[in-house]
Homo-oligomer: A and B are copies of this chain.
Amino acid sequence: MSLVSDITALAPGQLLARGVARHLAALGMVTVEELVPTRGLRVDVMALGPKGEIWVVECKSSRADYMTDSKWQGYLEWCDRFFWAVDADFPTDLLPECTGLIIADAYDAEVIRMAPEDKLPAARRKVMVQKFATHAARRLQALRDPAAFAGLG
């Protein structure tokens, strides 16, 4: 795994995710990317708030990227709030009104429409915070000590 502070190495959706992560950090939330809440689903950005709030943000770099996503409604049951993150040129009229909207670039982002809240049951929230912690710590160790997961000394 390589460091990704060189933004030329990032795909368009990852650039949006970087800006989203920066903005959510400024709001006091922490984020991870590519968490798998359940088999067959992988969220672009999962955010955790100070009181255990769970947000999911799906990053769409183009109309085509959005139109081919058949899975997004599956994310709703894994978060309190669901957002799309798109760039300033995206045709936002395409997006369902019942979802949140974030306009982002690689450097920052802004919440344009707050997502409605549909609170997770307590038991599922507990599972998601545990998954978030595990995912973040594994990725952190993989960056700090790459050999730890390669079976090398």
- Is A112 part of the contact surface with B, judged by Cβ < 8 Å? no
A21 touches B141 (CB 8 A): yes
Instruction: Compute how far the CA of A140 lies from the CA of B135 in the bound complex, rounded to whole angstroms.
Output: 10
Q: A31-B137, A48-B137, A153-B107 are in contact. Are A143 and B143 (CB under 8 A)?
A: yes
A146 to B143 alpha-carbon distance, docked (Å): 13
- In the complex, 21 of the A-B residue pairs with CB atoms within 8 angstroms, ordered by the A residue number, are A3-B3, A3-B143, A5-B145, A5-B147, A22-B148, A25-B138, A25-B141, A25-B148, A25-B149, A31-B141, A32-B137, A48-B134, A50-B134, A52-B130, A107-B153, A129-B133, A132-B137, A133-B133, A139-B140, A140-B143, A143-B143
